[in-house]
Amino acid sequence: MRRIFLLFLLAPAVVSSQAPTYDVVLRGGRVIDGTASPWYRADIAIKGDTIVRIAPAIVEPAARVIDLNGLVVAPGFIDIHTHARRGIFEVPTADNYIRQGVTTLIEGPDGGSPVPLRPFLDKVSGTRISPNFATFIGQGSVRSEVMGEVDRTATAEEVEHMRTLVRQGMEDGALGLSSGLFYVPGTFTPTAEVVELAKVAGRMGGIYISHMRNEARGVLDSVKETITIGEQGGLPTQVTHHKVVGKKYWGQSVQTLQLIDDARARGVDATIDQYPYTASATSIGAALLPAWAQEGGRDSTLARLKDPAARAKIKGESVAIIRDERGGGDPRNVVASSCGFDPSLAGKNLAEITEKRGVPVTLENAAETAMWIVEQGGCQGIFHAISEEDLQRILVHPATMVGSDGEIPIFGRNHPHPRSYGTFVRVLGVYVREKKLLPLERAVQKMSAFPAQRLGLADRGVIRQGMKADVAIFDPATVRDTATFEKPHSYAEGVHYVLVNGQVVFENGKMTDARPGRILYGPAAKTQSPTSSSARAFVSATGTEMRVLADEKDVRGNEVEIVELKFPPNSDSGDHRHAVTETFYVLDGQMEQVINGTPVKLTTGMSATIRSTDQVRHKSGPEGARVLVVWAPGGEIARVTARWRPQP
């Protein structure tokens, strides 16, 4: 009654402006809906995080109307292969991706992911990020966890342990299983062992995606193996960043694509992703030294390099790799992108580094330089060894989607592969507009609906009523990449607006303050529902913070209880295991005020009641508390689980 009365009193003040029906209306755009259908003209209305209406003209009031004057409105791009794991904490806005229109980043590729996934995902979840984020569970990391980096067959018990870890990864929210059979320890894994893990991921609704065993002389066998793993594992399978490395093997994409076509014809769900560059990037050691030389980790590699006989053998194989494979036939085709031991080497090629070491540039000396680099601590490198013809043939294939294989660089630091800044807009600018290799609608489909369908992201990737409002708005006449191998730190051009979950994260050339990105959990994820009394908790890397995340908008009066608490094995059991229930509230992601600073001993069963939110300074948004932080100044917490106890 009282509320109605108040509204009535307020009514005269707002009589001239109706309450907005929508939060955002995108007016007058050309809609490319992601399905590869031809574009059409329409207005799009968004409420909250959802596209609620699409119509020729939407005239109802909106909190914000953005006039697009014929710009293209596409689903936000989904990057199925990224190495954003470190960068997402350093640059949570992921500017290099957002500025291309990428709204979802998929991590955990090439067989590498945190094991277990949950603490990592909780940490991302506790970080205010701009794009959405999801991950695979990595076969190499799982094997490493169980067996170390050894070259031998797994025992039945070890396989069972690995299956358990994959199952746990899927329950933690993985989208499927990734492998990097080129790398250590993936390279030591027999196909049948991968199949056993793939079966687990497949039964739980996941896909398999693989950086194949060999992308040069063994590329055909490797595609066959990827197909076999999908076929025997009973799950969709994908060749990731498909390419044919090494001049000697150029042209073999004709056969690799035929293999994919044949597999699909007999009912195997096999697909491809690709980045639009004729150079790859990975560590110089992994790329130019044979896999056997890397068994057992860095110390073993160094020991082999000290042994004259082993060194000679490594050198011989490395020469062949530089001549016929990753090295692109010429040491100038290998460029260091970052070197921890000597940052001044970034941007220099293997010939220049060889010269710098005072020896003539020959294949043999370049191999020596590669071994020297590994001994010094290693470099990341860029390898120019892919043909444009193969690239284009793969790109236009109907089973190919676009993925960057990039990272989130710190702007200006190191010398990364330009794919991190340019992949998606390069396809739109170079291959659609300039080379007219494929229609714009088809290119967009390869970046949105196709990866969304592949990953089971049923509410993204298409512009349609009811879908999440991840949107990329660009000018098809000007969209382009500006990052080059020489000057990689350069943002995309021609993208005008980017929305994630209904919020504008980029406009007029600038990132906004909005950080609406979410974790997208996979098909088997056991996540807590917002109304349950459980909460996700994690401990900061330094062990100084325990955070409990709740989805409740207002947790006033609720109690958080520590259900399980673990200290590191070596921690002192003395008095300083005290924690201070310095209970912070985080408002819309920004940590603010200490509420009750009474020191208590942190134990299982401990609880802290949220007494009041009155003192909380609102830095942004009046939404209410979402995160409670318990701070242990000594840094002694190793693991914690907690639950909310909502108070009546």
The CB-of-408 to Zn ion minimum distance in angstroms stands at 16
Maximal C-alpha separation, the chain:
91
Stretch that binds Zn ion, among 211-219, 348-356, 432-440, 463-471 (CB under 5 A): 211-219
Stretch that binds Zn ion, among 20-28, 191-199, 209-217, 443-451 (CB under 5 A): 209-217
Q: Which of residues 534-553 bind Zn ion (CB under 5 A)?
A: none
Q: What's the angle, vertex CA 397, arms to CA 393 and CA 402, rounded to 5?
A: 95
Stretch that binds Zn ion, among 103-111, 343-351, 423-431, 443-451 (CB under 5 A): 103-111
Cα–Cα distance list, 86 to 265, 352, 413 (Å): 40, 30, 14
Q: Which helix (H) or strand (E) holds 162?
A: helix 156-172
Q: How many C-beta atoms surround the C-beta of residue 179 within 10 A?
A: 31
The CB-of-381 to Zn ion minimum distance in angstroms stands at 13
Stretch that binds Zn ion, among 54-62, 109-117, 245-253, 318-326 (CB under 5 A): 109-117
Q: Which helix (H) or strand (E) holds 382?
A: strand 379-384
Residue type, 396: V
DSSP 99: T
Please classify residue 281 by burial: count the beta carbons closer than 10 Å to its beta carbon, then call 0-12 exposed, 13-18 middle and 19+ buried.
buried
**Quick one: 403 or 523, whose CB is closer to Zn ion?**
403
Inter-residue contact 540 to 117 (CB < 8 Å): no
Stretch that binds Zn ion, among 117-125, 195-203, 207-215, 283-291 (CB under 5 A): 207-215
Number of amino acids touching Zn ion (CB under 5 A): 2
**Quick one: 211 or 547, whose CB is closer to Zn ion?**
211
Stretch that binds Zn ion, among 104-112, 216-224, 344-352, 617-625 (CB under 5 A): 104-112
Stretch that binds Zn ion, among 123-131, 208-216, 258-266, 551-559 (CB under 5 A): 208-216
Is residue 43 near Zn ion by the rule CB under 5 A? no
**Quick one: 21 or 278, whose CB is closer to Zn ion?**
278
**Quick one: 211 or 415, whose CB is closer to Zn ion?**
211
Is residue 211 near Zn ion by the rule CB under 5 A? yes
The CB-of-282 to Zn ion minimum distance in angstroms stands at 7
The CB-of-52 to Zn ion minimum distance in angstroms stands at 39
| Angle separating helix axes 308-324 and 298-306, nearest 10 degrees | 110
Inter-residue contact 138 to 172 (CB < 8 Å): no
The CB-of-109 to Zn ion minimum distance in angstroms stands at 6
**Quick one: 211 or 417, whose CB is closer to Zn ion?**
211
**Quick one: 283 or 354, whose CB is closer to Zn ion?**
283
Q: What tokens appear for 285 in the block?
A: 């050691």
The CB-of-26 to Zn ion minimum distance in angstroms stands at 36
Computed from CA positions of residues 432, 437, 443, 447, in that sequence, does the dihedral angle turn out positive or negative? negative
**Quick one: 211 or 242, whose CB is closer to Zn ion?**
211
The CB-of-317 to Zn ion minimum distance in angstroms stands at 21
The CB-of-238 to Zn ion minimum distance in angstroms stands at 12
**Quick one: 27 or 83, whose CB is closer to Zn ion?**
83
Stretch that binds Zn ion, among 105-113, 549-557, 591-599, 606-614 (CB under 5 A): 105-113
Distance CA 159, CA 195 (A): 11
Q: What's the angle, vertex CA 280, arms to CA 355 and CA 378, rounded to 5?
A: 50
The CB-of-177 to Zn ion minimum distance in angstroms stands at 14
Q: What is the 3-state secondary structure (H, E, C) of 510-576?
A: EECCCCCCCECCCCCCCCCCCCCCEEEEEECCCCCEEEEECCCCCCCCCEEEEEEEECCCCCCCCCC
Distance CA 640, CA 562 (A): 7
Stretch that binds Zn ion, among 102-110, 230-238, 243-251, 640-648 (CB under 5 A): 102-110
**Quick one: 211 or 643, whose CB is closer to Zn ion?**
211
**Quick one: 138 or 429, whose CB is closer to Zn ion?**
138
**Quick one: 279 or 462, whose CB is closer to Zn ion?**
279
Inter-residue contact 359 to 315 (CB < 8 Å): no
Inter-residue contact 83 to 407 (CB < 8 Å): yes
Q: Which helix (H) or strand (E) holds 5?
A: helix 2-10
Distance CA 538, CA 213 (A): 36
Is residue 368 near Zn ion by the rule CB under 5 A? no
The CB-of-240 to Zn ion minimum distance in angstroms stands at 6
Nearest to 210 by CA among 189, 396, 297, 392: 189
Backbone φ, ψ for residue 144 (5° rounding): -60, -40
Inter-residue contact 524 to 170 (CB < 8 Å): yes
The CB-of-83 to Zn ion minimum distance in angstroms stands at 8
The CB-of-430 to Zn ion minimum distance in angstroms stands at 22
Stretch that binds Zn ion, among 66-74, 108-116, 353-361, 391-399 (CB under 5 A): 108-116
Stretch that binds Zn ion, among 139-147, 204-212, 273-281, 410-418 (CB under 5 A): 204-212
- Under 8 Å CB-to-CB from 312, ≥6 apart: which residues? none
Is residue 79 near Zn ion by the rule CB under 5 A? no
**Quick one: 212 or 227, whose CB is closer to Zn ion?**
212
The CB-of-242 to Zn ion minimum distance in angstroms stands at 11
Inter-residue contact 211 to 194 (CB < 8 Å): no
Is residue 110 near Zn ion by the rule CB under 5 A? yes
**Quick one: 315 or 419, whose CB is closer to Zn ion?**
419
Tell me which residue has its CB nearest to Zn ion: 211
**Quick one: 120 or 275, whose CB is closer to Zn ion?**
275
- Under 8 Å CB-to-CB from 534, ≥6 apart: which residues? 528, 643, 644
The CB-of-139 to Zn ion minimum distance in angstroms stands at 13
Q: How many C-beta atoms surround the C-beta of residue 15 within 10 A?
A: 8
Backbone φ, ψ for residue 513 (5° rounding): -85, -10
The CB-of-87 to Zn ion minimum distance in angstroms stands at 16
Strands 132-135 and 102-107: parallel
Inter-residue contact 293 to 303 (CB < 8 Å): no
**Quick one: 85 or 515, whose CB is closer to Zn ion?**
85
Distance CA 291, CA 313 (A): 12
In the complex, the residues that contact Zn ion under the rule CB under 5 A are 110, 211
